[in-house]
Amino acid sequence: MPDTLAFDPTRLRFGVGQPVPRQEDPMLLRGEGRYTDDISLPNQAWAIIVRSPFGHGVIKNIDIEAAKEMPGVLGVYTAADMADYAPMRCALPLKSRDGSPLAPITRPPLASDKVRFVGDPVAFVVAETKAQAKDAAEAIFLDIDTLDAVIDAPSAAAPGAPQLYDHVPGNLVLDFVAGQPEQVAEAFAKAAHVAKLELTNNRIVVAPMEPRSAIGEFDPESGRFTLHVGSQGVFGMRNAMAEVMKVPLEKLRILTRNVGGSFGMKAGPYPEYACLMHAARALGRPVKWTDERTGSFQSDGQGRDHEVVAELALDAEGKFLAVRVTSWSNIGAYITNVGPMMGTANFFKNIQANYATPAIEVATKVVVTNTVPIVAYRGAGRPEGNYFMERLIETAAASMGIDPIELRRKNHIRPDQFPFAAPTGSHYDGGDFTAVMEQALAEADWNGFEARKAETEKKGWLRGRGIGNFLECTAPPTKEMGGIRFEEDGSVTIITGTLDYGQGHWTPFAQVLHSQLGVPFEKIKLLQGDSDELIAGGGTGGSKSLMASGAAIIEASALVVEKGKQAASHFLEAAAVDIEFEDGRFTIAGTDRGIELMDLVAKLREAGDSLPADVPRTLSVKHIFDQAPMAYPNGCHIAEVEIDPETGHVQVVRYHTVNDFGVIVNPLLVQGQAHGGIVQGIGQAIMERVAYSEDGQLLSGSFSDYALPRAADVPSFGFSSHAVPAKTNPLGAKGCGEAGCAGSLPAVMNAIVDALSPYGVKHINMPARPETVWAAIHGAK
């Protein structure tokens, strides 16, 4: 790898480490963002998806004749029309404990034999206008013999439960186990103390601001599709949809512009996208679809949903001996591209957290149910692993009469233990976990809590404090493009396969390039949403974007410098070996003769073909960063809550975090990412829960029935950094996008249990909604 920085970035106003405002914000605040629904193509038609109103049933007939005769209707399509396309599938190499692979469940673009959840697409209508398409969709008659439904994982696996697939007995798609089961069993057998909890990881609606939307196009002359769609990476989306459409990769182009949130949900393919491209080819015109919020609640992939038994074995002094997690994972009606990952491999990787636990076992039964399929949701199993461990620690400390802070100190991985080989297979390259926690305790005024508690009690309320240590294993950066293109107008374009869906990639990526090459910050552009421009792309997800794209930009910059030395040697009439580069300028070593990089680019363009053969015509490069190990962001969150015992209402009133995100390129953006994750964690902890009726009807199907946190529901957040640079990537970054969830779930829930402890409450499950808290108080009484 090249040196991480060519020169001291602190001398640059827009260099690495500076809190530079997001470049796209003025455009977005002026309403000039261009989202998929903002796009209207000439002669486009509109599509409306017809969804199953039943949770489970056999399709007997779909009568489309009346719909076909409606005004403006161009086409009505069912599964028979889509039969030539490939189904979507999950390619994860997960295996059951007996060595058998993940059950072969695939998802067609439209349901043909059965409907398996409310919202399952069964048909679609294309018309001249959206209103006409909606009218025609309502004229379609569905003849479905309803079947009994099952909505939770343990019930789905019970004898006699409704079966979603004939070839998947017991609805069990994976019986997963990982770790050291024999060593864990021995540790529990000899343990002086065992802490045990039953925990619910409540199902979440993702609810991005922008609903899913897409436009399909087809060019009959080239035989090429174009799909305009919100995504988390056009390279991966192209690969997935080309497989569904059964076309070579070069016959499909994916275009993504601004994306109004995703959190994992828009990363993979959906049935609607194949339907739109089919209709575009069949009708010879673009076809557009934008979901409405009800359709989003019914069809967008949802998050979480696990029932867990977690156990921690300790010796008489409080040293951790082993941790064991036994869980049910409800992945919904179909297996998405990552659906089984969260409750299996990601639980296993992240239950370790920042503790020196010598043995770990995770055993998960993954089942299908008559609910919306599960996808990745911010953290995707990583916050949960930390939540389980932190709740176990609090439970163990209470039962053993040990200060929970001291119990954490005793079991933290120490700095002298790095590099640390975890029993999960992870290799932690560094950290300072106890120091991070001590800093958080001091800055959050842990010792001043009793005075604040006394003030709260004066108004008859309860007050509690909670700590949430966390360490998460990011997704390992895969191959990623680092393109640097010098444009004719004097600007410089970064081309990369990660994709910003709200994070603000443009600014930090430009800071990295600015620090490496000294290119004027205001001249830097970002191209990220066109699959035709990419030669690689891992997309954005798993908190790896800066580690992947940042490394790719650094390596690509080194190639620009090497080409620049060759070019500068020609114009400066010196040997290339004598050319040096610093602060955006090529100079002859030992002299003041030199040329600015941007001036050199202009001279190369002017000279064109008159240049000698050994002089590059351009400094532009297309480079592929060849992946890196995962990183391990970590930190400590401390929350304080107030609870009204008369109503059970919980309010988070104080919050402070200290984080080790390694090298921070832009502190302003990192704080924003932390804030967003914290708020989503608070939402899951005290508000959010997807609810179904016994027959599979979605009861929380709108914002009238599903609570999201608002600004008034959260306090101001304290944020500090205690950085230990990562050794796994050239930037030294560790990722930060999902860490807010990882710390907030345990911090908030530990604070709630602490507040309720005077009543003898030892545990409460998420979400700690008013009725749940009130019941816990009165049940304890």
Q: How confident is the model over 12-47, as pLDDT tens digits?
A: 678 899 999 999 999 999 999 999 999 999 999 999
Residue 3 has pLDDT above 50, yes or no: no
Is cis: bond before 419, omega within 30 of 0?
yes
- CB distance 725 to 732 below 8 Å: yes
- Check residue 13 and give its pLDDT: 77
Confidence of residue 569 (pLDDT cuts 50, 70, 90): very high
pLDDT greater than 50 at residue 9: no
Coil, helix or strand for 683?
helix
What distance in Å separates the CA atoms of residue 117 and residue 331, rounded to the nearest whole number?
12
Region 484-493: mean pLDDT is 96
The pLDDT of residue 4 is above 90: no
pLDDT tens for each residue of 493-520: 999 999 999 999 999 999 999 999 999 9
Mean pLDDT, range 222-231, rounded to an integer: 98
Q: Would you say residue 545 has pLDDT above 50?
A: yes
Which residues make beta-bridge pairs with 459?
A: none
pLDDT score at 172: 98
> Two tokens at 721?
């950094």
CA distance 79 to 149: 22
User: Does 11 score more than 80 pLDDT?
Assistant: no
pLDDT digits (tens, 9 = 90+) for 679-702: 999 999 999 999 999 999 999 999
CA atoms within 13 A on the CB side of 188: 16
Q: Is 334:366 a contact under the CB 8 Å cutoff?
A: no
pLDDT-based confidence at 595, cuts 50/70/90? very high
pLDDT score recorded for residue 629: 87
| CB atoms inside a 10 Å sphere around CB 282 | 15
CA 636-637-638 angle, 5° bins: 125
pLDDT over 70 for what percent of the chain? 98
Q: What are the phi and psi torsion angles at 330 (to 5°)? A: -95, 110
Does residue 321 surpass a pLDDT of 70?
Answer: yes
Kindly report, residue by residue over 112-157, the tens digit of the pLDDT: 999 999 999 999 999 999 999 999 999 999 999 999 999 999 999 9
User: What pLDDT digit, counting tens, does each position of 375-411 carry?
Assistant: 999 999 999 999 999 999 999 999 999 999 999 999 9
- Which of 18-28 are b and which e, b meaning 16 or more Cβ less than 10 Å from the residue's Cβ? bebebbbeeee
pLDDT tens-digit map of 238-279: 999 999 999 999 999 999 999 999 999 999 999 999 999 999
Closest CA to 554 of 621, 506, 498, 618: 621
Residue given tokens 């899951």 in the structure block: 684
CA 152 to chain centre: 24
Q: How far is CA 484 from CA 565, 566, 726, in A?
A: 16, 17, 25
Q: What is the helix, strand, coil percentage profile of the chain, to 5?
A: 35, 25, 45
Query: Which pLDDT band, with edges at 50, 70 and 90, does 5 fall under?
Result: very low
Q: 753-767: per-residue pLDDT in tens?
A: 999 999 999 999 999
Letter for the amino acid at 615? V
pLDDT, one tens digit per residue, over 610-668 is 999 999 999 999 999 998 889 999 999 999 999 999 999 999 999 999 999 999 999 99
Q: What is the pLDDT of residue 781?
A: 66
pLDDT at 746 exceeding the cut of 80 = yes
Least confident of 5-19, 64-78, 589-603: 5-19
Q: How confident is the model at residue 741 (pLDDT cuts 50, 70, 90)?
A: very high
What is the tens place of the pLDDT at every residue in 165-222? 999 999 999 999 999 999 999 999 999 999 999 999 999 999 999 999 999 999 999 9
In the predicted model, is pLDDT for residue 579 greater than 70? yes
Helices then strands, each counted (H, E), the chain: 20, 28
* Confidence (pLDDT) at 476: 83
Q: Please, which residues have CB within 8 angstroms of residue 562's CB and are 6 or more apart in sequence?
A: none
- The closest of 545, 544, 551, 508 to 526, measured between CA atoms, is 508
Average predicted confidence (pLDDT) for the chain: 95
Q: What is the pLDDT of residue 522?
A: 94
Torsions phi, psi for 33 (to 5 deg): -65, 150
The tokens of 625 are what?
A: 């960063």
Q: Look at residues 506, 737, 509, 500 and name the one whose alpha carbon lies nearest to residue 631.
A: 737
Q: How far is CA 40 from the centre of its chain?
A: 29
